[in-house]
C-alpha cells in the first residue's frame, strides 16, 4: 500500500507498512505461536492458514480527531504539538469514505462547529466517527463537548441527508471531560433510522451508534465462518456466546436443532442483536448481563473478550462448567496465553491467525479448545 502521509512522516500509525505484506503475515503467525509456546499441549494444535486482509480500503470505521478552525477543520490525528493532521484521504478507507469525509468537513464549516482545542481546553467538536457498511451506507457520529452545537447540526442535517442519501444514521455524542477518550455515555440519534445494516456473510447485523463491531468487515466474516465451521464439526447442540456484542458469533452459529444464547452487558448491543434475530427469523436468545457471572451451561461456549482477556473468575467458571468445547476469539495473544494457563482442563485443538489489522503489529487469533 502506498501512503503519502506515511512517506511524508505525517502519520506513523501503520507501523509495519514498510514490511512486505507476506512477511507481515509470517511474522504475526510466528509471534502467535511463540506467545503460546509454553502451553503443554500446544504441539498438538492444528494451525490453519492465516487469513489475509486486503492491503488497503479495508477499514469500515474512521475515528477522526477534529482540529484546526471552524473555517478550515482537519479530520485525522494530532501531531506531538497538538496540531491537527488531516487524514481524510487515508488509503485504509474506501473511496466512498474519502468522499464522505470531505462532505463532512464542509458540513463542519457550514454548521459553524468549533473544533476542540486540546491545549486551550475549549471548542466543541472533538471527533467524527464514521462507519461504512458493505452496501455503501454510513453511520455518522459527532462527538461534542456540550450540546451547544446540536441546534446547528439539526438545522443543516436535512440538506446533508437529501444530498447524500448514503448517510443512513446520524447521532451526537456528548463527551464533556478533558480526557483522551473517544466518546461519552450520552448519545442522541438525529435521524429516523436508528441502525446501520451490516451485511456479513448471509446475515445482516444491525449497528447502533455505540455498538462495537470489528473494523475489517471481510475478516469479521471469515472469523464468524470459522467459528460456525468448528461448531458444526463438533456437532454442538447448544451454544453460549459470551461478550456477544451485536450477535455476530451467535447469529452465525444459529442452526436448526441448535440452542443458541448470547450474553452482553451493553443494552444497546443486545437490542441490535434482537433486531437481527427477529428480522432474520433466527431462534437466538439474547440477554443483557455480565459475561463473567454467567453459568456456562452449553456444549460449546464462545468467548470474544476485550484485550484484557477472560480473567480468573470467568476461567474458573469455564473450568467448573459442563461445557465440552470453547471457541476463544482473542485480539491479544498475551492475555490469551495467560487465560489458557488458567484453563488446565482444556486442550487447544485448532488455531488460526486472522489479520484483522494489516500494516500493524496487531492481529486476531481464534482457537478451538476441547475438554480433556
Active site residues: 331
Task: Give first-to-last CA distance, the chain, whole Å.
Answer: 45
Pick from 316, 343, 10, 84: nearest CA to 328: 343
Buried b or exposed e, range 152-186, using 16+ CB within 10 angstroms: ebeebbeebbeeeeebbbbbbbbbeeeeeeebbee
Buried b or exposed e, range 15-36, using 16+ CB within 10 angstroms: ebbeeebeebbeebbeebbebb
Q: Could you tell me how far CA 16 lies from the centroid of its own chain?
A: 20
Q: What is the largest CA-CA distance in the chain?
A: 64
How many other C-beta atoms are found inside a 10 Å radius of the C-beta of residue 83?
13
How many other C-beta atoms are found inside a 10 Å radius of the C-beta of residue 139?
26
C-alpha 188/C-alpha 151 separation (Å) is: 12
C-alpha 54/C-alpha 366 separation (Å) is: 19
Task: Find where cell 482537519 sits.
Answer: 74
Task: Provide CB contacts within 8 A for 9, sequence distance 6+.
Answer: none
Pick from 62, 112, 69: nearest CA to 90: 62
Amino acid at each position: 500500500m502506498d501512503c503519502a502521509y506515511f512517506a511524508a512522516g505525517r502519520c506513523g500509525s501503520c507501523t509495519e507498512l514498510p514490511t512486505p505484506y507476506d512477511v507481515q503475515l509470517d511474522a504475526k503467525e510466528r509471534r502467535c505461536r511463540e506467545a503460546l509456546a509454553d502451553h503443554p499441549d500446544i504441539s498438538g494444535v492444528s494451525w490453519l492458514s492465516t487469513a489475509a486482509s486486503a492491503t488497503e480500503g479495508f477499514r469500515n470505521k474512521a475515528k477522526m480527531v477534529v482540529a484546526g478552525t471552524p473555517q478550515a477543520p482537519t479530520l485525522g490525528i494530532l501531531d506531538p504539538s497538538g496540531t491537527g493532521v488531516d487524514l481524510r484521504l487515508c488509503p485504509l478507507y474506501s473511496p466512498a469514505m474519502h468522499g464522505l469525509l470531505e462532505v463532512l468537513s464542509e458540513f463542519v464549516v457550514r454548521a459553524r462547529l468549533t473544533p476542540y482545542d486540546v491545549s486551550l481546553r475549549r471548542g466543541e467538536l472533538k471527533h467524527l466517527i464514521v462507519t461504512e457498511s458493505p452496501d455503501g451506507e454510513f453511520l455518522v457520529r459527532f462527538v461534542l463537548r456540550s450540546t451547544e452545537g446540536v441546534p446547528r447540526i439539526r438545522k443543516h442535517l436535512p440538506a446533508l441527508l437529501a444530498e447524500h442519501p448514503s448517510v443512513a444514521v446520524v447521532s451526537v455524542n456528548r463527551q464533556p471531560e478533558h480526557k483522551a477518550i473517544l466518546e461519552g455515555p450520552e448519545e442522541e440519534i438525529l435521524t429516523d433510522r436508528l441502525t446501520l445494516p451490516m451485511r456479513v456473510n448471509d446475515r445482516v447485523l444491525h449497528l447502533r451508534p455505540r455498538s462495537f463491531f470489528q473494523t475489517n468487515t471481510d475478516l469479521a466474516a471469515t472469523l464468524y465462518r470459522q467459528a460456525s465451521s468448528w461448531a458444526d464439526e463438533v456437532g454442538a447442540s447448544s451454544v453460549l456466546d459470551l461478550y456477544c456484542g451485536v450477535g455476530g458469533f451467535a447469529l452465525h452459529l444459529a442452526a436448526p436443532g441448535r440452542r443458541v444464547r448470547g450474553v452482553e452487558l451493553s443494552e444497546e448491543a443486545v437490542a441490535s442483536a434482537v433486531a437481527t434475530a427477529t428480522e432474520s427469523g433466527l431462534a437466538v436468545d439474547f440477554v443483557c448481563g455480565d459475561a463473567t457471572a454467567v453459568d456456562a451451561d452449553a456444549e460449546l461456549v464462545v468467548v470474544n473478550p476485550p484485550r484484557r482477556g477472560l480473567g480468573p473468575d470467568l476461567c474458573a467458571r469455564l473450568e467448573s462448567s459442563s461445557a465440552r468445547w470453547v471457541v476463544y476469539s482473542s485480539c491479544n495473544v498475551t492475555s490469551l496465553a495467560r487465560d489458557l494457563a488458567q484453563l488446565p482442563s482444556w486442550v487447544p485443538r485448532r488455531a488460526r491467525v486472522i489479520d484483522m489489522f494489516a500494516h500493524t503489529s496487531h492481529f486476531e487469533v481464534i482457537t478451538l479448545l476441547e475438554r480433556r
